[in-house]
């Protein structure tokens, strides 16, 4: 998919990505975002950011893995409330 549509963001979630977010981002360059745990709220926040309809940053989203502009893997922790 990424080779056909390089601008499309690829997101994964579920039990495997939850436990292996770092490894997935290390070994799968076509995957852009990994949702850790329940991903519904993260998916909505990410979509709003990518569409430009939010002032938040991806670094503000809890429990998501991604690469920054330099290609470093970032895993945002889940917040406890």
63 in a structural domain: yes
pLDDT digits (tens, 9 = 90+) for 7-64: 999 999 999 999 999 999 999 999 999 999 999 999 999 999 999 999 999 999 999 9
Report the pLDDT averaged over residues 61-80: 93
Contacts of 55 (CB under 8 A, 6+ apart): none
30 in a structural domain: yes
78 confidence band (pLDDT: 50, 70, 90) = confident
Please tell me whether residue 49 adopts helix, strand or coil conformation: helix
3 in a structural domain: no
77 in a structural domain: no
Measured CA distances, 35 to 1, 3, 4 (Å): 19, 22, 23
- Structural domains in the chain (count): 1
52 in a structural domain: yes
What is the domain extent for residue 57?
26-70
Among residues 48, 80, 39, 74, the alpha carbon closest in space to that of 59 is found at 74
């Amino acid at each position: 998919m990424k080779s056909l549509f390089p601008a499309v963001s690829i997101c994964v979630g579920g039990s495997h990505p939850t436990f292996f977010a770092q490894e997935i981002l290390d070994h799968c360059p076509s995957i852009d975002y990994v949702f850790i745990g329940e991903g519904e709220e993260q998916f909505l926040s990410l979509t709003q950011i990518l569409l430009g309809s939010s002032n938040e940053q991806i670094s503000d989203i809890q429990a998501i893995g991604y690469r920054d502009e330099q290609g470093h893997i970032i895993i945002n922790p889940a917040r406890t409330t």
